[in-house]
């Protein structure tokens, strides 16, 4: 039997210059599932996303998903993509096994925590809003750190700098006065030791989201990251949310261990693979 992809309609042109198309997964022309592909115009390198892959129950465990995934890679190569990414739910064990067998590796993971009561600040620690005079320096430092992290993963630094600057303009159009955004500074015994950016209004999310948490290098290793996350929980609860989410890159083992120790649990794995 031959497994193929058959377009269900014409290619779609999406916002920002992205393209997308939905396919039936067919066996000898008989539909047995669906697959949807899209490009990501906000990636530093031309990137395709496997937005959906579903095989009907009677046709599972017969290699249909494997063939469909490989066919998807060929489509994205034809679109000029240099890598493919997709999210897999943490509890989707068969999908994770298949992805591993096809050479995908974890790039990042989404984590969430159900909130109850925020922890109190430790003795000697206080926090305050980031003020307008501090905002430009904070923004520049946050963007530079993101560029550094992405460049270390092989991303083109110039393109990443453009993308992160555009992201800040979209998400923080009014700087520290942007509604639905919380920018805080943590001080310990009178010295500023870290900053926190928590989004309290996030399209598509049911709670808050930690976009950026930074501890000054000379003050790391003293629990200030844990304190900043407690502040994020407090801000989220004050806004009426009971869930807080975040994204952590797979090579940041220190941050991942911190989040796990605080009760955050992985909801999705972001897997990727270069398209050679």
Which contacts qualify for 169-176: CB closer than 8 Å, 24 or more apart? 171/199, 171/211, 172/139, 175/132, 175/135, 175/139, 176/129, 176/130, 176/131, 176/132, 176/135
Contact criterion met (CB below 8 Å) for 180 and 199 = yes
- Distance CA(80)–CA(253), nearest Å, equals 33
The answer to whether residue 62 is domain-embedded is yes
Q: Among all chains, which residue has been given the structure tokens 């050679």? A: 276
Same domain, 63 and 122: no
Number of compact structural domains in the chain: 2
Same domain, 68 and 132: no
Q: 3-state DSSP call for residue 108?
A: strand
Counting Cβ atoms within 10 Å, is residue 224 exposed (0-12), middle (13-18) or buried (19+)?
Answer: buried
Percent of the chain with pLDDT over 90: 89
H helical segments located in the chain:
64-78, 93-101, 135-152, 157-171, 224-238, 253-261
Same domain, 129 and 225: yes
More confident residue, 31 or 118: 31
Same domain, 163 and 52: no
CATH number at 234 reads: 3.40.630.30
Using CA atoms in the order 158, 51, 17, 249, what is the torsion angle rounded to 10 degrees?
-20
The answer to whether residue 247 is domain-embedded is no
What pLDDT was estimated at residue 205?
77
Same domain, 67 and 167: no
Same domain, 70 and 142: no
The answer to whether residue 257 is domain-embedded is no
Residues 47-80: pLDDT tens digits? 999 999 999 999 998 999 999 999 999 999 999 9
Judged against a pLDDT cut of 70, whether residue 99 lies above it is answered with yes
Judged against a pLDDT cut of 80, whether residue 201 lies above it is answered with yes
The count of other CB atoms within 10 Å of the CB of residue 96 is 17
What pLDDT was estimated at residue 3?
87
Residues 114-132: pLDDT tens digits? 999 988 999 999 999 999 9
The count of other CB atoms within 10 Å of the CB of residue 13 is 10
Domain range spanning residue 63? Answer: 3-81
Band the pLDDT of 216: cuts 50, 70, 90.
Answer: very high
Residues 230-260: pLDDT tens digits? 999 999 999 999 999 999 999 999 999 999 9
Same domain, 77 and 155: no
Band the pLDDT of 1: cuts 50, 70, 90.
Answer: low
- pTM (two decimals): 0.91
What pLDDT was estimated at residue 204?
77
Same domain, 124 and 174: yes
What pLDDT was estimated at residue 206?
83
Same domain, 130 and 39: no
The answer to whether residue 264 is domain-embedded is no
Compute the mean pLDDT over every residue in the chain, rounded to the nearest whole number.
Answer: 94
Percent of the chain with pLDDT over 70: 100
Write the DSSP symbol of residue 222: S
């Amino acid at each position: 039997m031959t497994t193929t992809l058959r377009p269900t309609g014409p290619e779609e042109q999406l916002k920002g210059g992205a393209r997308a198309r939905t396919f039936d997964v067919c066996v000898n022309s008989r539909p047995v599932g669906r697959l949807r592909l899209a490009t990501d115009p906000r990636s530093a390198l031309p990137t395709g996303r496997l937005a959906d892959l579903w095989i009907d129950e009677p046709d599972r465990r017969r290699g249909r998903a494997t063939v469909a995934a490989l066919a998807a890679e060929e489509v994205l190569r034809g679109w000029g993509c240099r890598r493919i990414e997709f999210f897999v739910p943490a509890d989707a064990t068969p999908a994770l096994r298949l992805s591993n067998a096809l050479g995908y590796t974890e790039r990042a993971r989404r984590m969430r925590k159900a909130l109850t009561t925020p922890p109190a600040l430790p003795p000697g620690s206080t926090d305050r809003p980031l003020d307008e005079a501090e905002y430009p320096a904070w923004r520049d430092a946050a963007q530079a750190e993101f560029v550094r992290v992405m460049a270390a993963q092989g991303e083109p630094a110039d393109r990443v700098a453009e993308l992160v600057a555009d992201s800040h303009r979209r998400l923080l159009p009014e700087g520290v006065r942007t509604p639905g955004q919380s920018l805080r500074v943590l001080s310990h015994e009178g010295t500023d030791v870290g900053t926190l950016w928590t989004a309290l209004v996030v399209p598509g999310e049911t709670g808050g989201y930690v976009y950026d948490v930074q501890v000054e290098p000379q003050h790391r290793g003293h629990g200030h990251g844990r304190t900043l996350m407690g502040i994020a929980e407090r801000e989220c609860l004050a806004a009426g949310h009971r869930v807080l989410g975040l994204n952590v890159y797979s090579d940041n083992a220190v941050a991942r261990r911190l989040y796990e120790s605080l009760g955050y649990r992985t909801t999705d794995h972001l897997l990727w693979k270069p398209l050679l």
